[in-house]
A and B are shown apart, each in its own frame.
Chain A
Amino acid sequence: MKQTLRQSMSWLHTWGGLWFTWILFAIFLTGTLGVFDDPISHWMREQGKIGEIAPSTVDQRSRAVELGQRHLAAVSPRADFWSIGLPGDENPNIRVFWRADEDAPFKQAQLDPLTGAELQPGASRETEGGHHFVHMHFEFHAGMAGIWIVGAATMAMLVALVSGIIVHKKIFADFFTFRPGKGQRSWLDGHNALGVLTLPFLFVISYTGLTIFWATYMPAGVLARYDGSEDAFFARLSEEPAPRPLQHIDALMPELAPLMRRGEAAIGREASFVVVEHAGDRSAAVRVFGRFDPDAENDRLVGRGSGSALYDAITLETLDVQLPNTVRGGSVLQTQRTMNALHFVRFGGYPMKWLYFICGMAASAMLATGAILFMVKRRKKSANEFGAATARVYRGIEVLNVAAIAGLILACAAYFWINRLLPLDVAERGTREILLFFAVWLASLAHAALRPSLAAWREQLAACALLCLGLPLLNLATTGDWLVAALARGDGETAGVELSAIGFGLIFLAMLRQLRRRAPTLTVDRPETAKTAAIDAIGGR
């Protein structure tokens, strides 16, 4: 490779960018939606209609712990993990989670807060809500494999950022350059302006995304330097008691309700969760978690803990108490936690969330324009990179562009519709919603593969616009709740979701108009010409 630095970096940016752009677009788009996971869950669970849930008394919480413990002892007396979620602002029911051993999947049930009876499917709109987007964002619902795919793509993002900067001679000038209606040049200007505008955000969000999973992605340091046990290493790092090894000796579990009261007194805060590790074993420990205080979140990046108390379940001895809003661990751990907080936007309240949302959408658009630019450039003049297979590879890239960009947006919009249209009483409803989300995405890929590119772009964008603009009507038709009612009762979360959907719908309509203006005749004679016309239209010329 006899090349200048800029040439080799341009090559790296083009090809490294292309092969990762579809995964990265999915990570950025779902992560951006995930900024508002709580409002999305609020909309999906119809919490606006339920209204405020009255604060509970200590007796009510004790009773809930009793009922939760009774259920768990019946379904899984010996368990790696029990968790009892107490009724709170977001959910009036008792939620129990458990898993039999470390390798078993988590199971869950919701219990009536007064009788402890298990609530049957259909009693409420069971959904993963906004968590679906968060899980898509960091693991594609694929567990460890997904985490590694996201990590590799994020490294590619950092490399694309650095190589992109080297390629650009005049970053500052590019920022003010936009030449619309000039085809390839406009796509490049758009890609550059969006990239430069969000550059600090892109670096911060990519780097802090990697350091959340530092010990997973880069375990060499820990593996080379831990002495004795890894658990002890991490316990020393976070200055917390190390997890206790299973003893395999049966033991009777104590009443958890009195421990909850002790925990509340020790941390000076209402309990939100009571968790048992190694239930039914001599090594069992009970942890009482304090309720999260959203107001503590706005003015600081770390040290906003809700407090917790840890007890030996057999001797009832206090093992550890961490007070709310206190910090543990040294300055390096605080640095890492600060980086996490920057990634999760756990600071600054709604204004900061909106800033992240706008930056995330701009970043997604930057990735999309990059992917489209790649094809626009080559439609004008094939670079013939793949020899005889070039035309076929280009077609494949076109199809993936449509499915990965328009198709994913469509699947995300469809997820809201699925939530309202799927019957309430189907089993595993939350999981089914997510399966249907993937089904829509897959259908968009099939559609993109069967239709000429321009038609595929146009039809999928039209479907996106339809789903977004129709969302408030769908909500009115299926639940009787709607935008005006939400605004009238001051329910900003429900109204925010629907107003944002309308906003996105209008953006997709504007894109469609642009497409129509640039490609007035789609009924072209030969397929080859149709394809060229299609890509030219996507490219603007």
Chain B
Amino acid sequence: MSVPSPAHLRLALGSRVLAAVGGGYALASVFSIWLSYLLPAELPEAVLGATLFSFAVYTAAVIWAFAAASAARAWLGLLLPGAAMGLMAAALQLGGAAA
């Protein structure tokens, strides 16, 4: 319930906070780019629509960062979907450029 005193516990908490604030923001950012490729709307509108959803993703990411069983799992749970969406967005961008 409190700020843990042993050094490694504090480090784990710091890592979670960083995952929540920084990792969550990065995930929400990648999500907004990824979704903008998938929404059935013209380019500017698709970006706006995707961005409107991204705040919910950020909220969920912060909750996840503190709900995960360990700090390492918290990071993993953010990095994996982030990387997957990033790769997909890159592929869609390249595919779109080629077409």
Residues on A lying within 8 angstroms of B by beta carbon are 1, 5, 7-12, 14, 155, 158-159, 162-163, 166, 207, 210-211, 214-215, 217-218, 220-222, 224-227, 233-234, 236-237, 329-333, 335-336, 339, 383-387
Contacts and interface: CB of A to CB of B under 8 A. Distances in A.
Contacts of A159: 59, 62-63
A154 to B, nearest CB: 9
B48 A218 contact: no
A221 B55 contact: no
10 contacts: A7-B1, A155-B62, A158-B59, A215-B51, A221-B48, A225-B33, A236-B43, A330-B45, A383-B1, A387-B5
Contacts of B1: 7, 10-11, 14, 383
Given A220-B33, A225-B36, A387-B5, A332 B59 contact: no
Contacts of B50: 221
B52 interface: yes
A336 B52 contact: yes
A385 B13 CA distance: 14
Contact of B55 (A5, A218, A234, A236): A218
B30 to A, nearest CB: 7
A1 B10 CA distance: 11
A218 B45 contact: no
B94 interface: no
A214 B67 contact: no
B75 interface: no
B45 A237 contact: yes
A225 B67 contact: no
Contacts of A166: 63
A14 B49 CA distance: 33
B66 A9 contact: yes
A366 to B, nearest CB: 19
Interface residues of B, number: 37
Contacts of A158: 55, 59
Taking chain B's interface residues, is the majority helix, strand, or loop, or is none over half, making it mixed? Answer: helix
Contact of B59 (A11, A162, A236): A162
A210 B55 contact: yes
Contacts of B28: 218
B3 interface: yes
Given A11-B1, A215-B51, A225-B36, A332 B41 contact: yes
Contact of A236 (B44, B58, B69): B44
> Nearest 6 CB-CB pairs, A to B?
A220-B29, A237-B44, A385-B2, A332-B45, A221-B32, A221-B47
B28 to A, nearest CB: 6
Contacts of B56: 207
Contacts of A207: 55-56
Given A210-B55, A220-B29, A383-B2, A11 B66 contact: yes
A329 B43 CA distance: 12
Nearest to B36: A221
Nearest to B49: A332
Contact of A1 (B5, B12, B42, B54): B12
B51 A12 contact: no
Given A159-B62, A332-B41, 5 more contacts: A159-B59, A207-B56, A218-B29, A330-B45, A336-B48
B98 to A, nearest CB: 16
Nearest to A339: B52
Interface centre among B5, B43, B59, B70 (most CB of A within 10 A): B59
B62 A385 contact: no
Interface centre among B44, B52, B55, B69 (most CB of A within 10 A): B44
Interface centre among A210, A224, A233, A386 (most CB of B within 10 A): A224
A535 to B, nearest CB: 19
A385 to B, nearest CB: 4
A511 to B, nearest CB: 30
Given A333-B48, A387-B5, A225 B43 contact: yes
A333 B47 CA distance: 10
Given A1-B70, A10-B1, A333 B45 contact: yes
A211 B53 CA distance: 9
B67 A221 contact: no
B59 A8 contact: no
Nearest to A5: B67
Contacts of A10: 1
Contact of B33 (A224, A333, A384): A224
